[in-house]
Amino acid sequence: MTLANTTKKENLYFKQLSTPYFSALKKYIEDNILTFHCPGHQQGKGTIDFFNNFIKENSLACDITQILGMDDLHQPQSIIKEAQELAALVL
């Protein structure tokens, strides 16, 4: 079936299957571009193996916001504040 021979409903279906952002992100990663912008983790190339493996296996599970006990980035009071203070010692 060609796009020229499809109905409006079929065109909408095919358009919904399109993944422009994901496709561009996938291409960017496959191009193995050396980055000099934020965030500065260099696509995981400079991380310790055990951390890199953890993130690879759990990245979607780690994508959290507004979870009790995980602190608030805009007003850090506990674990984020402690992490920022530790980072400040190095930076």
Give the Å distances, CA to CA, from 12 to 6, 16, 20, 21, 23: 10, 6, 15, 18, 19
Q: Evaluate the omega torsion of the peptide bond into residue 39 and state whether it is cis, within 30 degrees of 0.
A: yes
pLDDT tens digit sequence for 30-42: 887 776 766 666 6
Residue 7: CA atoms inside 13 Å, Cβ hemisphere, count?
2
Q: Is the pTM of this model over 0.75?
A: no
Residues 54-82, mean pLDDT to the nearest whole number: 86
pLDDT tens digit sequence for 49-65: 888 889 888 887 887 77
- Pick 82 or 3 by higher pLDDT: 82
